[in-house]
């Protein structure tokens, strides 16, 4: 073999051995690198081991911006109840239509719709010549009555002394009684109109509120010609608002006075209002097989107005269960969970969070403020009514633990984001 061929053969062998060594070392380094990355990634996500509890951390800005509400279990009767629908109602004695007893012209209006007025407060003023005529008639009658009273006393004395005839005395007495009745009638008319009998003559009368409450309707304007008995203004006093519920015949034997009622208003964020039954109807409503059940409202009357539709539960039993708002429950992987705030976590500085891989969208400043750690707890739900659901814990928590009542899905979204490889779950 030639010398040059031997040299080429030796060089090729050396290169082959070098390549084998190179790729062997590269493979070993790659395994170590991937293993290190996997460990770092597991630490940066939700700080859980396989099958262990899942935790989510929020900074102060995230916690405040998401409007998370914390609380604990409520004791609710969700099983021994009767469902009923109805409306908020106001007794007739707490509603008023303001009218006048004679025609006139509107001169002033001193209230607006929605304004609160007190009983006796001036609402408007009405001008009419009829007011002056009544006052003149009253003053004339008053003068005549004084004269006829003296004449009656004189004729009575003469009649007793048999100086005058009985016929003259009887006529004088009749005239006196007629004028006395007329005087009393005119006096009552002035009192009804709000005009002082002993005051100066006036053609303008103030229309005053008969009850305290809120102005709902104003049916007049300046210069309007008003008619006797026609409503000018409507007033409602919502302090005596109650609920009329329709209960079907099959449920009626279980309903009794004094039972508690809970209902929600769909146009008020499903907030719960409570009441107590004070009366049960004795006849069916219209053509339905339902009876009206009346319940006083024991809270939040100021937020309610007549005619609101309500979905109600009448508590006919005494078995209360631990319940949470429906929005406190999140579902994942066919299971149900709640989030609980973990106590005792201190603020972490940026330097202390070693090994956390922050993406651009989740970067923290060095001063992130207080941090909130939430742990996801598995639960099992039961009966749901009026925005609440029965909850049984499958994991033990502190009896005084603060549970996320509102904003649970916001926390869950951070958990899913971190599980998708999107950096630390802050």
Q: Report residue 419's pLDDT band, with 50, 70 and 90 as the boundaries.
A: low
| pLDDT reading at 41 higher than 50 | no
Q: Which domain holds residue 406?
A: 47-76+321-419
Question: Considering its fold, how many domains does the chain have in total?
Answer: 3
* 3-class state of residue 139 by DSSP: helix
C-beta separation of 54 from 46 below 8 A: yes
Distance of CA 392 to the CA centre of its chain: 29
What is residue 67's predicted lDDT score, i.e. its pLDDT? Answer: 85
Assign residue 398 the CATH number of its domain.
2.40.420.20
Give the per-residue pLDDT at 234.
Answer: 94
Binned at pLDDT 50, 70 and 90, residue 47 comes out as very low
Instruction: Name the residue with higher pLDDT: 378 or 418.
Output: 378
Residues 280, 407 share a domain: no
Note whether residue 225 is domain-resident. yes
Q: Are residues 118 and 229 in the same domain?
A: yes
Same domain as 274, residue 342? no
| Residue 183, pLDDT score | 92
Q: What is the pLDDT of residues 217-244, one digit of tens each?
A: 999 999 989 888 889 999 999 888 899 9
Q: Is the pLDDT of residue 151 over 70?
A: yes
Same domain membership, residue 199 and residue 271: no
Strand ranges inside 232-352, DSSP E: 233-236, 242-248, 260-264, 272-284, 290-297, 309-315, 321-325, 330-332, 335-341
- Residues contacting 142, CB < 8 A, separation 6+: 183
Q: Which residue has the tokens 């004070």?
A: 278
Question: 100 and 230: one domain?
Answer: yes
Q: Determine the pLDDT at residue 38.
A: 38
Same domain as 146, residue 58 = no
In this prediction, residue 365 carries a pLDDT of 43
Check whether residue 101 and residue 221 sit in a common domain.
Answer: yes
User: If you search the block for the tokens 């539709």, which residue do you land on?
Assistant: 309
User: How many Å apart are CA 56 and CA 62, to the nearest integer?
Assistant: 12
> Percent of the chain, pLDDT > 70?
76
Structure tokens at 21: 């060594």
C-alpha 363, offset from chain centre: 40
- Same-domain pairing of 301 and 325: no
Residue 292 included in any domain: yes
The DSSP H or E segment spanning 40 is helix 3-44
Q: pLDDT at residue 29 above 70?
A: no
The whole-number average pLDDT for the span 260-268 is 76
Q: pLDDT value at position 300?
A: 66
Verify that 190 and 277 share a domain, yes or no: no
**What is the predicted pLDDT for the residue at 7?**
62
Task: State pLDDT tens for residues 166-199.
Answer: 888 889 899 999 999 999 999 888 888 888 877 7
Please tell me the distance from the alpha carbon of residue 77 to that of residue 386, in angstroms, as a whole number: 11
Domain assignment present for 338:
yes
User: Are residue 100 and residue 216 in the same domain, yes or no?
Assistant: yes
Distance, C-alpha 178 to centroid of its chain:
60
Q: What is the pLDDT of residue 283?
A: 85
Question: Which of 40-54, 128-142, 159-173 is the most confident on average?
Answer: 128-142
Percent of the chain having pLDDT more than 90? 22
Model pLDDT, residue 337: 92
Q: Which helix (H) or strand (E) holds 57?
A: strand 54-59
The CA–CA distances, whole Å, from 247 to 254, 276, 294, 396 equal: 10, 15, 10, 41
Do residue 215 and residue 101 come from a single domain?
yes
Domain boundary among 290, 315, 340: 315
Query: Other C-beta atoms within 10 Å of 91: how many?
Result: 11
Tell me which of 267, 293, 315 is where a domain ends: 315
CATH code of 287's domain:
2.40.30.170
Host H or E run for residue 298: none
Q: Check whether residue 250 and residue 211 sit in a common domain.
A: no
């Amino acid at each position: 073999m030639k010398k040059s061929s031997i040299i080429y053969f030796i060089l090729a062998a050396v290169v082959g051995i070098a390549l084998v060594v190179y790729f062997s070392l590269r493979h070993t380094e790659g395994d170590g690198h991937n293993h290190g990355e996997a460990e770092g990634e597991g630490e940066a996500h939700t700080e859980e081991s396989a099958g262990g509890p899942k935790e989510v951390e929020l900074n102060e800005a995230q916690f405040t911006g998401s409007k998370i509400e914390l609380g604990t279990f409520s004791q609710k009767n969700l099983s021994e109840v009767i469902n009923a629908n109805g409306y908020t109602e106001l007794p007739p004695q707490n509603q008023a239509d303001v009218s006048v007893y004679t025609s006139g012209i509107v001169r002033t209006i001193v209230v607006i719709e929605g304004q609160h007025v007190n009983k006796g407060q001036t609402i408007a003023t009405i001008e009419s010549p009829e007011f002056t005529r009544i006052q003149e008639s009253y003053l004339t009658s008053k003068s005549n009555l004084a004269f006829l009273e003296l004449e009656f006393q004189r004729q009575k004395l003469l009649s007793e002394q048999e100086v005058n005839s009985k016929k003259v005395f009887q006529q004088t007495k009749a005239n006196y009684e007629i004028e006395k009745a007329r005087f009393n009638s005119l006096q009552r008319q002035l009192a009804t109109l709000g005009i002082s009998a002993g005051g100066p003559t006036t053609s303008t009368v103030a229309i005053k509120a008969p009850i305290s409450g809120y102005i709902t309707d104003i049916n007049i304007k300046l210069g309007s010609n008003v008619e006797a008995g026609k409503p000018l203004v409507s007033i409602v006093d919502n302090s005596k608002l109650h609920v009329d519920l329709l209960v079907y015949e099959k449920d009626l034997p279980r309903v009794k006075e004094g039972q508690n009622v809970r209902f929600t208003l769909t146009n008020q964020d499903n907030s719960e209002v409570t009441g107590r039954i004070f009366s049960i109807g004795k006849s069916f409503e219209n053509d339905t097989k339902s009876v009206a059940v009346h319940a006083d409202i024991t809270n939040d009357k100021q937020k309610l107005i007549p005619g609101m539709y309500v979905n109600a539960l009448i508590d006919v039993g005494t078995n209360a269960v631990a319940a949470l708002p429906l929005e406190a429950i999140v579902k994942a992987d066919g299971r149900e969970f709640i989030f609980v705030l973990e106590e005792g976590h201190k603020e972490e500085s940026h330097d202390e969070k070693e090994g956390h891989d922050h993406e651009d969208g989740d970067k923290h400043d060095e001063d992130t403020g207080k941090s909130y750690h939430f742990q996801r707890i598995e639960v099992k739900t039961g009966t749901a009514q009026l925005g609440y659901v029965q909850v049984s814990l499958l994991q033990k928590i502190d009896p005084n633990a603060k549970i996320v009542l509102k904003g649970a899905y916001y926390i869950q979204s951070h958990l899913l984001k971190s599980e998708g490889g999107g950096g630390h779950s802050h």
